[in-house]
Structure 1
Amino acid sequence: MLKQIIVSVFLLPSVFFAQHTIKGTFTNAEDYKHALLYKILPVSTEYVTSSEVKKDGSFELQLDATVAPGMYKIVYAIPKDEYSFDVIYNGKEDIELTFDSEKGISYQQSTENKLMSNYSSSMTKISQSIGNFYRQVSSDTLALMTIFKTQRETQKNFEDAAKGTIALEFIKANRPYIPNQFEDIKTYIGNLETHFFDNVDFNNKTLQSSSFLLDRMYNYVLGMTTSGDDKLDSYKKNIDAFYLAMKDAPIIIKSSLLLQLWEKMLDLEEESVANYISDAYLLDIAKSLNDQVLVNGLLQFKKTSLQSKAPDFSLDGTDNGKKLSSLNGSDYYVVVFWSSECSHCLHEIPILESYIETLPKGDVQVVAVGLEDDDKNWSKKIKDFPDFIHVLGLGKWDNKIGDDYNVTATPTYFVLDKDKLIIAKPDTVEDLKSFFDKKHF
């Protein structure tokens, strides 16, 4: 009995610490210092382990027996959502890969990841062949049907090969629409669009714990447009169709995907589409989740989005004083949020003043809101800019005017037309100058 206990004690650590590894090499080694591994959950990630990237670009992540099979993210720089890639870990095999920022990932070891990579490559080549056929306006219908037959057989072969693997979840979800008879380009694209989400299960935890649903959403909303369509209307139509496709998804998944789509539209400078996502879907979802931070953020953004009426405020700090809305006589107004203690502001504000002086007198009026803890430095610095309308915003980051304009950094610029509609939000004074230069004063 004692001998059995001793044997068990010695065996336990080897079982518990039984491990696999993820080995990798970055081809541009000098750019990266660490590789961090996160487990991907449906709406979050959990840190697992990390490794230093050696001078030759190699790293090695040790995975003990507590690391469960699933989807993982390797992060190699900040921000982690941008500088990362997903890997499948099945708990049964080591993974070895090479990562190149231009060419992507290649796997030297890992049956599942190789399978997924080969599948993606094969289906991409077939899709390119279909695209080439239609672009050539060929009348060889037999050739097209041969391509579709190859696509159907390739899909089936990979599904058969992936049985019992995590990769199968992605391969099945990616199963494309494949016609059984010849279709012209218009019919084919229409059917692709109609059947785009037929095999996507938005309740599938594996799909939720990856970039698959996000990529699928982007490909549909941004990619399913044809020449001649009004781009904004096309985006909105696609968003409606996407929301209908995921109608049975958990509300937290809907929130996560739509929020990322909202942010993507901001990156694309499509603010009207972002507001459509908010008004039609996301705002109600945020309220259902009692996510007041998101509710406030969506409403706040809309208040200061392009073509919105600029939030009004007093120019002298009194309730009965002159307000922004009452200004007249100029074609344009620049509202700039700055601080007398901000070195970047002290560099850009004089440039702004000098530039305004080159424009026809009175055509552009600057309203400078100083976000300050007190008025000591501010009251001295404003004397350098006598042609500006100066407004003191005490409380700095807790100031109501700054809050109404969702200001999180200084300087921040807004350009208004004569009706006080926001028509531009330049990032820098140089961007502001470019905006007005295009007006050909």
Structure 2
Amino acid sequence: MLKELMMFLFFVPVTISAQFSIQGLFSPAESYNYVLIYQVTPNAHNYVGNAEIKNGKFHFELDSTNPKGIYKLVYALPQEDYNFDIIYSAEEDIEFSFDQETGVRFVKSSENMLVSSYTRDMNMVNQEIDAYFSKSKSLDRVILRNLFSKKIEIQDIYENNAIETIALSFIKSSKSYVPDSYTTLDDYYKNLKRDYFIHVDFSDVYLQSSNFLIDRISHYIFENDDVKTSDMLKYQNRVDDVYVALKKAKVNTKIALLFQLWQQMVDFGLDATANHISNRYLLNLLNNHGNSELAGLLKNFQNISLGSIAPDFFWQQSNEYTSSKITLKSLNVAKRYIIVFWSSSCSHCQEEIPELRRFLESKSEEKIQVIAVGLEETSFNWSNLILDYPNFIHVLGLGKWTNEIALKYNVSGTPTYFILNEDKEIILKPDSLDELKEYFRY
């Protein structure tokens, strides 16, 4: 009896602290140094830990305190751009390989492999259907029926194999339209679009915790095509479709997804579509939900959107006799204006501002005026450096990131550029000096 008790006590701690691991192989190895691991819920990213990537490999132990669910692996900066989701069942190890060209491939973990295999097989049959519709002048009903039967079979097999797993949430919500009788090409794609969100469960906590919902919304709007500003109206109409699909979703879910979609439009330079999202849907939701901070961010963006009149500000212009207050609005000295936010402590600025000056010297006949706003803690270094740029209008922005002008223009880094026409409308927000120079070349 005593021997049995000792054996029991010996094995209990092992059972309680049973560990599973996440390990991966990154390629090319020299491009990766660390991986960060988060456990994700609909409302939070909970930091779990990190691991060093050596020779492309890393290994991280999870313990019994780590719940099953969705985990996010971050492998580079910025974190929001370089990450992917994994399913952790708390019942098995996870092993994968990752290549920056082909993405992630799971080699151990039944749930992750199940979702990956489903996605691959469903993509293959959808490609077969697309190829048949695009290449066939006359449609064979038997071939079409067999293709659609294959699609139904794949869906059924994977749903049955995923019962009582987290993977089932992703497989069921990925289900797409299948006609129950013969259909034409136009009707098929019209109904595919109509039913795109019909199986998506926006209340599912696993989907909310992952990138699945925003990825599916983005795919619906952009259709994997190159983003084009000429398609702005099409994107706005599809945003309207998305909001209809979100009708039964909780307010927090609507806000989270619409804000992510808004941010995508901002990143793509689709200012009009971003403002369509905020004006038509998101601002009302935020105001009704008491989120004034996020609402303020959206309104501030509208003020610096393409086509908007640039927010006004003033500076003191002095000579040896007088000092006068000048406003951006009243300035009338050029056909186009460049507002550049820079800082004397910014190394990139020290490289780009002289290059900007040299470039504009070659454009002296085009009536371009630079307004250089120096975001500084003190004026000492700034007052010496501006002597090298006598043709710029210089504005001192004390307080740096909290300076009123910087806040008006939503500046979070330097250098930041805005190009205005003679009426002070914002016509371009170049991401780099090269983009600015490219604009003025034509």
Decide: shared fold, TM above 0.5: yes
Residue 302 of structure 1 and its aligned partner are, at CA, apart by: 1.2
Residue 6 of structure 1 and its aligned partner are, at CA, apart by: 5.3
Which stretch of structure 1 is more off in the superposition, 388-397 or 260-269?
388-397
Residue 265 of structure 1 and its aligned partner are, at CA, apart by: 1.1
2: CA distance between counterparts of 1:348 and 1:105? 37
2: CA distance between counterparts of 1:174 and 1:357? 56
Look up the match of 1:220. 220
2:118 is equivalent to residue 114 of structure 1: no
Look up the match of 2:183. 183
Q: Taking structure 2 as the reference length, what is the TM-score of the superposition? A: 0.90
Aligned residues: 436
Look up the match of 2:162. 162
Look up the match of 2:339. 335
2: CA distance between counterparts of 1:412 and 1:419? 20
2: CA distance between counterparts of 1:230 and 1:345? 33
2:208 is equivalent to residue 208 of structure 1: yes
Residue 393 of structure 1 and its aligned partner are, at CA, apart by: 2.5
Per-residue CA deviations over 1:104-151 (Å, capped at 9, x if unaligned) read 333333222222221111100001011101211431332122211111
1: CA distance between counterparts of 2:367 and 2:261? 38
1: CA distance between counterparts of 2:253 and 2:43? 7
Structure 1 residues 317 and 287: CA distance shift in structure 2, 3 A:
farther
- Quick one: which amino acid aligns to residue 75 of structure 2? Y
Given that residues 50 and 61 in structure 1 are in contact (C-alpha distance below 8 angstroms), is that contact kept between their aligned partners in structure 2? Answer: yes
Q: Equivalent residues in 2 for 1:231-246 (5 A)?
A: 231-246=231-246
Given that residues 229 and 270 in structure 2 are in contact (C-alpha distance below 8 angstroms), is that contact kept between their aligned partners in structure 1? Answer: no
Q: Equivalent residues in 2 for 1:21-60 (5 A)?
A: 21-55=21-55, 57-60=56-59
Look up the match of 1:321. 325
1: CA distance between counterparts of 2:74 and 2:48? 11
- SS of the equivalent of 1:168 reads helix
Look up the match of 1:172. 172
- SS of the equivalent of 1:97 reads strand
Q: Which runs of 5+ in 1 are unaligned?
A: none
Look up the match of 1:134. 133
- SS of the equivalent of 1:315 reads strand
Structure 1 residues 109 and 378: CA distance shift in structure 2, 3 A:
closer
2:414 is equivalent to residue 415 of structure 1: no
Identity of aligned residues (%): 41
Q: CA RMSD in A?
A: 2.7
Given that residues 99 and 105 in structure 1 are in contact (C-alpha distance below 8 angstroms), is that contact kept between their aligned partners in structure 2? Answer: yes
Given that residues 333 and 364 in structure 1 are in contact (C-alpha distance below 8 angstroms), is that contact kept between their aligned partners in structure 2? Answer: yes
Structure 1 residues 187 and 225: CA distance shift in structure 2, 3 A:
farther
2: CA distance between counterparts of 1:21 and 1:370? 50
Which stretch of structure 1 is more off in the superposition, 416-425 or 107-116?
107-116
Look up the match of 2:438. 434
2:353 aligned to which of 336, 349, 354 = 349
Residue 421 of structure 1 and its aligned partner are, at CA, apart by: 0.4
Given that residues 43 and 252 in structure 1 are in contact (C-alpha distance below 8 angstroms), is that contact kept between their aligned partners in structure 2? Answer: no
Q: Taking structure 1 as the reference length, what is the TM-score of the superposition? A: 0.90
- Quick one: which amino acid aligns to residue 386 of structure 1? P
Look up the match of 1:16. 16
Per-residue CA deviations over 1:383-421 (Å, capped at 9, x if unaligned) read 332222222323333322222112222322211111110
Given that residues 39 and 46 in structure 1 are in contact (C-alpha distance below 8 angstroms), is that contact kept between their aligned partners in structure 2? Answer: yes
Given that residues 25 and 58 in structure 1 are in contact (C-alpha distance below 8 angstroms), is that contact kept between their aligned partners in structure 2? Answer: yes
- SS of the equivalent of 1:379 reads helix
Given that residues 317 and 391 in structure 1 are in contact (C-alpha distance below 8 angstroms), is that contact kept between their aligned partners in structure 2? Answer: no
- SS of the equivalent of 2:193 reads helix
Q: Equivalent residues in 2 for 1:322-401 (5 A)?
A: 322-361=326-365, 363-401=367-405
1: CA distance between counterparts of 2:232 and 2:48? 42
Residue 8 of structure 1 and its aligned partner are, at CA, apart by: 5.1
Q: Which runs of 5+ in 2 are unaligned?
A: none
Q: Equivalent residues in 2 for 1:94-109 (5 A)?
A: 94-109=93-108
- SS of the equivalent of 1:187 reads helix
Look up the match of 1:81. 80
Structure 1 residues 316 and 166: CA distance shift in structure 2, 3 A:
same
